[in-house]
């Protein structure tokens, strides 16, 4: 291939430390945190400016070789694996927080900044960034996959936080997808399109993001139910009553059992809701009284609220330790997670279906859900060397996805498509998939940007 | 042209009442509520189903004639004026509310449903639709322009409410841009792209929209200040304190004067904030106490809060009657409205600039703003037969826009581009405009969909 020549051309404007074909470096950029099979890039580059990214893309476009933007490698569907080789663009040297604007409730950051790095810097301004996908992902990567997590029910997903992106297109053009105003009806809305585009339309080189004032008061709660179905109904009732929920997570008995083993605790091994409410003191008090009434109306057998920070963390312990508990109990196995999102009124049935099918599959796993949004995960531990187990896990995933699609849901609520959910795109999007492909072709006619991903 | 032949082909599947070349009907579809010059469509059609829209578009695509989707004609930038003739597609016969799903906090509607029609139907479920652009627009039109209004500061703009659109593309293909789940990271995000696309990418034939529980309690307020600058600073301080504002509107002295004349009232002719807070009773009480402290810290000279419905309406009277007061006082003149949106920390200066330039221009007008979002309007009364007045108004608009763009704002916060803001698209979007044009060309290669609008 042309990579020797490409390397020479890259070294005309990058330092030797910024261009690597070292095997270890390539291997580090050949896998994410998922069960998907690794593959190596031909080169890894570490740009330090938007202009360098633009120049890299111009070369890649000339030679028609793949480019794969890389943040922290914490994706869960193989998004950053270079199955067709090419140049992995590692954004970790573009990790500056460029501006914090408290008056505008905005920040401007480079794509390599991680969410914990940003929150650390925001704390002294009394501000926080809301999206929490679990992993300490890069903000560029979180925008590329439209990440979300436990706080989406209150603050929205990554797409809701993005005011503007600086993006380098396949031809090296540098564009802005939005602006710093709170709203705009000007031009086509490229912000929404580029968030979640998984690197197939361009490389994100700067983000302008919304941030929020740290809530005056927070209260955490845990409520235990006799059935998953009733727990989900209780959440729906709280939402419908207009009580603003900060977070609400469902954890199933199998997962609580795993946590009890891991943490040597004795939480009741029953369907459990973990809740959080944010607001002013008086309002919170009234919200919690009202929520407690509703939870009790639905036959909640145990209920506890805590407002002190340490007690809150203790209360949420079982939810926080969930993935670790599964990984710890299953050495040598890899975590596979389903990720469907369904209309709220279908959620209880969808979770019940997933629970039954998990039993049928014989796989080790548990269910947890961002139930305020209708998004839930089956966490499954699989041995990648055990072909039958992998096959059963994939079949299980497929059943869950097809069930979700049959009731107006989506194959992925927050992890994205990558390579893992490509097979469901036609089924989910129908004729719209052709429109998506037309847009991809219009913006990247040589198909160099993270090719053969997403669509 | 081919319109005689097109009419024959349309009548193969539409009734004679659904196809019109009557002069009066054409004239009704040749203008919106703006100052832009009218122009006539060749034909007006009134489809009753998505399939009919698809068949209409196939014919238009074959003959390469323009199609212009038409809702209630309440656009403010000439969006629906057929400057190149063609077929105006009037969606008023597709005005069914297809489903109200209280559990999912969703509704499914046809594009001809108006927001007051929807809110009427939602009331008995204890729900409401949040977006209020003033006019009783169709929901299809509101999605096409990404409308917003006074409630955006709390609930977001039209784009934030759209879960799914059914859209007919230029070639007649029927697609869905989303689904009924609360969040999704599947495929490219067409929802965001099609909202605000002003009919240039497709015709919206069905919408799935978020709705909200009617707030338990509402409190309205009015606060009078000695300067606009300080009033805006007070709003920023309330927002930064994390107090959730339901609505917050600024009205300038010239506008209050106009309202006093119109309503025979004696409101102080000073910069005035109109506020609204929503929530539970205890929380609201605490929010209002805190907000009052802040308003007083900023030297607010008069402050009043009301919770009773009639008293609330009375309190907001001056804001509600604003446009009418201007129109009533200036018979024979047309209302032109600027619509920039700027970063919050630039808002006070931008409004001050707009006020000074309004004086310089010698035009009759006043300033009002959705100040929680940084979006404000200069309402200007112009005589369309008075060329010099029109020229001065356009020059004034241009100054306001260029000022907004120079500080990271946008030329239109909520009215959209239509033909009125096209001249600023290159300046605002730079290289991104080429990407927008590429997307338009990919989805509508014959340029039949509302051609020569937006981009």
| Ordered per-residue pLDDT tens for chain B, 455 residues | 589 999 999 999 999 999 999 999 999 999 999 889 999 999 999 999 999 999 999 999 999 999 999 999 999 999 999 999 999 999 999 999 999 999 999 999 999 999 999 999 999 999 999 999 989 999 999 999 999 999 999 999 999 999 999 999 999 999 999 999 999 999 999 999 999 999 999 999 999 999 999 888 999 999 999 999 899 999 988 988 888 899 999 999 999 999 999 988 889 999 999 999 998 888 899 999 999 999 999 999 999 999 999 999 888 888 888 888 998 899 989 889 999 999 999 999 999 999 999 999 999 999 999 999 999 999 999 999 999 999 999 999 999 999 999 999 999 999 999 999 999 999 999 999 999 999 999 999 999 999 999 98
Smallest Cα distance from A264 to chain B, Å = 35
Distance of alpha carbon B38 from alpha carbon B28, whole angstroms = 10
Does A109 share its domain with A208?
yes
A184 to chain B: which residues are within 8 Å by CB?
341, 410, 412-413
Chain A residue with CA closest to B214: the answer is: A242
Give the best residue of A175, A181, A234 to mutate against chain B (max B CB count within 10 A). A181
Give the A:B interface size as CB pairs under 8 Å.
Answer: 305
Between residues 183 and 242 of chain B, which touch chain A (CB distance below 8 Å)? 183-193, 195-197, 201, 212-216, 236, 239-242
Question: B440 in a domain, yes or no?
Answer: no
DSSP state of A2: -
- Contact B426/A at CB under 8 A: no
- pLDDT reported for residue B216: 85
Q: Which member of A196, A241, A409 has the closest CB to residue B185?
A: A196
**Does B439 sit within 8 Å of A188, measured CB to CB?**
yes
pLDDT at residue B1 in the model: 58
For residue B281, which residues of chain A lie inside 8 Å, CB to CB? 286
> Residue B212 to residues A251, A288, A447, B173, B283: CA-CA distances in angstroms?
27, 20, 42, 32, 19
DSSP characters over A154-216: HH--HHHHEEEEEEE-TTS-EEES--SSS----S--HHHHHTT-TTSS-EEEEEEEE-EEPPS
What pLDDT was estimated at residue A1? Answer: 58
Backbone angles phi, psi at A169, to 5 degrees: -80, 170
pLDDT at A315: 86
- Nearest CA distance, B251 vs chain A (angstrom): 20
Asked if B105's CB is within 8 angstroms of A175's CB, the reply is no
| Assigned domain for A438 exists | no
Other beta carbons within 10 angstroms of residue B118's beta carbon come to 21
Host H or E run for residue A97: strand A97-101
CATH number of the domain within which A374 lies: 3.30.70.2740
Residue numbers in B near A281 (CB within 8 A)? 286
Do B140 and B222 belong to one domain? no
Q: Is residue A454 part of a domain?
A: no
Say if A432 is an interface residue toward chain B (CB within 8 Å). Answer: yes
Question: Among A69, A92, A115, which residue terminates a domain?
Answer: A92
Interface test with B, best of A183, A198, A204, A340 (most B CBs within 10 A): A183
Write out the DSSP string of A401-416. Answer: HHHHHHTT-BS-SSS-
pLDDT tens for B222-275 read: 999 999 989 999 998 898 888 889 999 999 999 999 999 998 888 999 999 999
Q: Do B181 and A440 touch (CB under 8 A)?
A: no
Inside any domain, residue A350: yes
CB distance A242–B190 less than 8 Å? no
- CA angle at B432 for the pair B428 and B437, rounded to the nearest 5°: 110
Quote the domain boundaries for residue A31: 3-92
Q: Name the burial class of residue B84, with classes exposed (0-12), middle (13-18) and buried (19+) by CB atoms within 10 angstroms of its CB.
A: middle
Cα B184 to Cα A334, A340, A409, distances in angstroms: 25, 8, 9
Shared-domain flag, residues B305 and B234: yes
Q: How many CA atoms lie within 13 A of B271 on its CB side?
A: 23
Distance (Å, rounded) from C-alpha A439 to C-alpha A411? 21
Render each residue's pLDDT in chain A as its tens digit; 455 residues.
589 999 999 999 999 999 999 999 999 999 998 889 999 999 999 999 999 999 999 999 999 999 999 999 999 999 999 999 999 999 999 999 999 999 999 999 999 999 999 999 999 999 999 999 989 999 999 999 999 999 999 999 999 999 999 999 999 999 999 999 999 999 999 999 999 999 999 999 999 999 999 888 999 999 999 999 899 999 988 988 888 899 999 999 999 999 999 988 889 999 999 999 998 888 899 999 999 999 999 999 999 999 999 999 888 888 888 888 998 899 989 889 999 999 999 999 999 999 999 999 999 999 999 999 999 999 999 999 999 999 999 999 999 999 999 999 999 999 999 999 999 999 999 999 999 999 999 999 999 999 999 98
In a domain, B241, yes or no: yes
B82: CATH: 3.30.43.10
Q: For residue A286, give the chain B residue with the closest CA.
A: B282
Rounded to whole angstroms, how far apart are CA atoms B112 and B137? 9
**Nearest to A186, CA basis, from B141, B208, B436, B186:** B436
Supply φ then ψ for residue B302, to 5 degrees: -145, 135
Residues of chain A in contact with residue B374, where contact means CB-CB under 8 angstroms, are 181-182
* A78 and A126 co-located in one domain: no
Q: Do A188 and B416 touch (CB under 8 A)?
A: no
CA–CA distance, A16 with A35 (Å, rounded to integer): 33
Beta carbons within 10 angstroms of residue A66's beta carbon: 22
**Max CA-CA distance within chain A?**
70
Collect all residues of chain A within an 8 Å Cβ-Cβ radius of residue B189: 146, 159, 192-193, 195-197
Question: How far, CA to CA in Å, does B1 sit from each of B7, B11, B331?
Answer: 11, 17, 40
- Extract the tokens encoding B23: 């002069």
- The answer to whether the Cβ–Cβ distance between B212 and A152 falls below 8 Å is no
Minimal C-alpha gap between B454 and chain A (Å): 6
Do the domain assignments include residue A442? no
- CA neighbours closer than 13 Å in the CB half-sphere of residue A36: 25
Does the residue A425 lie in any domain?
no
- Closest CB to A433: pick one of B159, B187, B189: B187
Instruction: Report the alpha-carbon angle A257-A258-A261, nearest 5.
Output: 90
Cross-chain Cβ contact A179/B409 below 8 Å: yes
* Same domain, yes or no: A125 and A207: yes
| A106 and A85 co-located in one domain | no
Task: Out of A185, A214, A341, name the one closest to residue B182 (CB).
Answer: A341
* Chain B nearest CA to A404, separation (Å): 9
Give the 3-state secondary structure of chain B.
CCHHHHHHHHCCCCCHHHEECCHHHHHHCCCCCCCCCCCCCCEEECCCCHHHHHHHHHHHHHHCCCEEEECCCCCCCCCCCCCCCCEEEECCCCCCEEEEEHHHCEEEECCCCEHHHHHHHHHCCCEECCCCCCCCCEHHHHHHHCCCCCCHHHHCCHHHHEEEEEEECCCCCEEECCCCCCCCCCCCCHHHHHCCCCCCCCEEEEEEEECEECCCEEEEEEEECCCHHHHHHHHHHHHHCCCCCCEEEEECHHHHHHHHHHHCCCCCCCCEEEEEEEECHHHHHHHHHHHHHHHHHCCCCEEEEECCHHHHHHHHHHHHCHHHHHHHHCCCCEEEECCCECCHHHHHHHHHHHHHHHHHHCCEEEEEEECCCCEEEEEEEECCCCHHHHHHHHHHHHHHHHHHHHCCCECCCCCCCCCCCHHHHHHHHCCHHHHHHHHHHHHCCCCCECCCCCC
Q: Which residues neighbour A260 within 8 Å (Cβ) at sequence distance 6 or greater?
A: A266, A267, A269
- For residue A203, give the CATH number of its domain: 3.30.465.10
Strands A87-90 and A97-101: unpaired
Q: Is residue B445 part of a domain?
A: no
Let me know: does B187 contact A418? Beta carbons within 8 Å: no
Residues A357, A400 contacting (CB under 8 angstroms): yes
Task: Report the CATH number that the domain containing residue A283 is assigned in CATH.
Answer: 3.30.70.2190
Residue A107 and residue A201 in one domain: yes
**Number of domains within chain A:** 4
Q: Which of B58, B92, B126 is the last residue of a domain?
A: B92
Pairing between strand B43-45 and B87-90?
parallel
Which residue among B190, B290, B343 places its CB closest to the CB of A180?
B343
Nearest to B282 among A177, A182, A285 (CB): A285
Helices (H), A298-321: 309-320
**Domain match, A197 and A147 both:** yes
Q: Which of residues 280-299 of A touch B (CB under 8 A)?
A: 280-287, 290
Starting at the edge strand found earlier in the chain, the sheet holding A67-70 runs A19-20, A43-45, A87-90, A67-70
Do the Cβ atoms of B133 and B72 come closer than 8 Å?
no
Listed by number, the residues of chain B in 254-283 with a beta carbon closer than 8 Å to a beta carbon of chain A are 279-283
B154 in Cβ contact with B38 (< 8 Å): no
B224 and B209 in a common domain? no
Question: Is-contact B90 B45, C-beta < 8 A?
Answer: yes
In A245-323, DSSP assigns E strands to: 247-251, 272-279, 302-306
Read out DSSP for A384-453? TT-HHHHHHHHHHHHHHHHHHHHTT-BS-SSS--TTTTGGGHHHHHTTHHHHHHHHHHHH-TT--BSTTS
Gap between the Cα atoms of A426 and B102, Å rounded: 30
- Residue keyed to tokens 């919200």: A287
**What residue in B sits closest to A413 (Cα-Cα)?**
B184
Between positions 355 and 414 of A, the ones with CB within 8 A of B are 372-375, 404, 408-414
- Write down which residue in A179, A213, A247 finishes a domain: A213
| B251, B304: one domain | yes
Are A200 and A232 contained in the same domain? no
**A342 CB within 8 Å of a chain B CB:** yes
SS3 A312: helix
- Structure tokens given for B7: 């009419």
């Amino acid at each position: 291939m042309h990579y020797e020549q490409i390397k020479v051309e890259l070294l005309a404007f990058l330092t030797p430390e910024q261009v690597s074909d070292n095997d270890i470096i390539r291997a580090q950029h050949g896998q994410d945190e998922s069960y998907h099979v690794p593959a190596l890039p031909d080169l890894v580059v570490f740009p330090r400016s938007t202009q360098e990214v633009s120049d890299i893309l111009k070369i890649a476009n000339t030679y028609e070789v793949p480019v794969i933007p890389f943040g922290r490698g914490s994706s869960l569907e193989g998004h950053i694996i270079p199955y067709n080789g090419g140049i992995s663009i590692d954004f970790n040297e573009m990790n500056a927080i460029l501006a914090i604007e408290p008056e505008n409730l905005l920040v401007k950051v480079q794509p390599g900044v991680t969410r914990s790095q940003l929150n650390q810097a925001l704390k002294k301004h009394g501000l926080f960034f809301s999206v929490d996908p679990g992993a300490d992902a890069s903000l560029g990567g979180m925008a590329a996959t439209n990440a979300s997590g436990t706080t989406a029910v209150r603050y929205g997903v990554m797409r809701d936080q993005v005011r503007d992106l600086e993006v380098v297109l396949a031809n090296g053009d540098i564009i802005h997808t939005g602006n710093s105003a709170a709203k705009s009806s000007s031009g086509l809305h490229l912000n929404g399109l580029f968030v979640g585009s998984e690197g197939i339309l361009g490389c994100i080189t700067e983000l302008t993001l919304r941030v929020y004032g740290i809530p005056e008061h927070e209260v955490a709660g845990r409520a235990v139910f006799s059935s998953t179905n009733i727990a989900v109904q209780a959440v729906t009732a709280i939402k419908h009553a207009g009580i603003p929920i900060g977070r609400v997570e469902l954890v199933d008995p199998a997962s609580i059992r795993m946590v009890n083993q891991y943490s040597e605790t004795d939480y009741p091994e029953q369907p459990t809701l973990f809740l959080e409410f944010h607001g002013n003191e008086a309002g919170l008090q009234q919200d919690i009284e009202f929520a407690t009434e509703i939870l009790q109306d639905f036959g909640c057998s145990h209920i506890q609220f805590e407002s002190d920070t340490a007690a809150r963390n203790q209360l949420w312990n079982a939810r926080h330790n969930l993935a670790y508990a599964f990984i710890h109990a299953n050495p040598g196995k890899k975590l596979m997670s389903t990720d469907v999102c369904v209309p709220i009124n279908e959620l209880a049935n969808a979770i019940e279906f997933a629970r039954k099918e998990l039993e049928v599959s014989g796989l080790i796993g548990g269910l947890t859900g961002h139930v305020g949004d209708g998004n839930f995960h089956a966490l499954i531990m699989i041995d990648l060397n055990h072909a039958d187990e992998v096959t059963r896990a994939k079949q299980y995933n497929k059943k869950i996805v097809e069930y979700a699609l049959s009731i107006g849901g989506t194959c992925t609520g927050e992890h994205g498509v990558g390579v893992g959910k490509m097979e469901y795109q036609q089924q989910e999007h129908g004729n719209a998939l052709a429109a998506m492909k037309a847009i991809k072709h219009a913006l990247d006619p040589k198909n160099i940007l993270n090719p053969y991903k997403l669509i």
